[in-house]
Amino acid sequence: MKIIMLSTAPGSVDGIRVMSYEADREYDLTGTAGAQDLAAAFVGAGLAKEVGSASPAPAASDSESAAIEQTPTVATDPKAKQSKAK
């Protein structure tokens, strides 16, 4: 989750290292479950607000996946193009 801090607060994404998250700065806390939990805690406590969605695109349905898997790939041979041009 991407957040913008509304006030400066300490926080830790791994429970070991504590950093100062500064007011009016944007942070991308999407890398780990700990980072996502910290972002949610900041937002829940009113210390930050979410500024965008970093969530992945929705997964394709089974029928879409099947259609993608069945799409043929066309290999091009550079020599074939050269022989046609002559």
β-pair partners for 20: 10
Domain for residue 46, yes or no?
yes
* Residue 81, token pair as written in the block: 């193009």
> What is the pLDDT, as a whole number, of residue 47?
96
Domain for residue 61, yes or no?
no
Domain for residue 42, yes or no?
yes
Domain for residue 5, yes or no?
yes
What is the Cα–Cα distance from 41 to 48, expressed in whole angstroms?
9
Q: Which domain holds residue 7?
A: 1-54
CA atoms within 13 A on the CB side of 62: 0
Contact 42, 23 (CB under 8 A): no
What is the Cα–Cα distance from 50 to 39, expressed in whole angstroms?
8
Domain for residue 45, yes or no?
yes
Domain for residue 40, yes or no?
yes
What would the pLDDT profile of 14-49 be if each residue is shown by its tens digit? Answer: 999 999 999 999 999 988 999 999 999 999 999 999
Q: Are strands 2-5 and 48-52 parallel, antiparallel or unpaired?
A: antiparallel
Query: Is the pLDDT higher at 20 or at 59?
Result: 20
What is the Cα–Cα distance from 75 to 18, expressed in whole angstroms?
52
Q: How many domains does the chain have?
A: 1
- Residue 77 clears pLDDT 70, i.e. is over it: no
Domain for residue 6, yes or no?
yes
